[in-house]
Copies of this chain bind each other. A is one copy, B any other.
């Protein structure tokens, strides 16, 4: 399969759905909808939505049944970026090559736009006119999983400890906790919730959960490496910031070469979890390999 083509096709599907389901820029009050859409359509790769769709593929589900979840995941991811970039958090001026939300709209509106994106995610997941073919109990299970992964013992928990660890000596297990939570949790939940909605069996869900966890952690290790080795122009955000801010990163702990090896090992383990799946899991396999090679 051609992963580039697959990504482009799925990105279009997700972008069209977001365009349709998220309130328009002119919807009242326009300020907040402009701010929401500014960050939402700033050129994200749509990795989480595509993982949810690919996980549904892997268990024989239909993309149309998973699309609202796919969009909700991107709304949650986008809100987390807006809030992480705030002056009182990472204080970033640049994201995906554009000024961050608070630089354009001011802090108050950036906070509220983030809040609104998070809330809209759960609105989208519960709208009665969507996902009509999914049994409501199954749908509720997927939403519950996403909420837990995004919450205080998931993504937010990771971000809290990431902030707390700045400039401090920490132990390896805390480093791993931060990485597997601040980024890993939502990536893993994208795979898992996509597979739930796709109708995966208990055995399939267990395997895909393993895949998602390894993939999520690998993604953040590669992110750390890109911060050390990447270019502002390609990444569209400031580089070498982790070091300046005294962040807990894999390269700072283990060095560049060893971090590379760890990411490779994690992707290898992720692929093992897909062993019992047929060709329908090929997108998930290709995405795992791509995570290692990505340069943006």
Q: Which residues of A contact B (CB under 8 A)?
A: 23, 27-29, 31-33, 36, 79, 83, 86, 88-89, 106-109, 111-112, 114-116, 118-120, 122-123, 126-128, 135-137, 139-141, 143-144, 147-148, 150-153, 156-157, 159-161, 163-164
Q: Is the interface of A mostly helix, strand, loop or mixed?
A: helix
Q: How many copies does the complex hold?
A: 2
User: Given A151-B123, A156-B116 in contact, is the A111-B139 Cβ separation under 8 Å?
Assistant: no
Q: In the bound complex, how far is the Cα of B114 from the Cα of A141, in angstroms?
A: 24
Establish whether residues A152 and B33, one from each chain, have CB atoms under 8 Å apart when the complex forms.
yes
Contacts of A128 in B (CB 8 A): 137, 140-141, 144
Contacts of A153 in B (CB 8 A): 23, 27-28
Q: Name the CB-closest residue of B to A156.
A: B116
Contacts of A106 in B (CB 8 A): 88
Q: Name the CB-closest residue of B to A157.
A: B29
Partner of A127, one of B79, B89, B112, B144: B144
Establish whether residues A118 and B120, one from each chain, have CB atoms under 8 Å apart when the complex forms.
no
Q: Name the CB-closest residue of B to A119.
A: B151
Establish whether residues A160 and B88, one from each chain, have CB atoms under 8 Å apart when the complex forms.
no
Establish whether residues A89 and B118, one from each chain, have CB atoms under 8 Å apart when the complex forms.
no
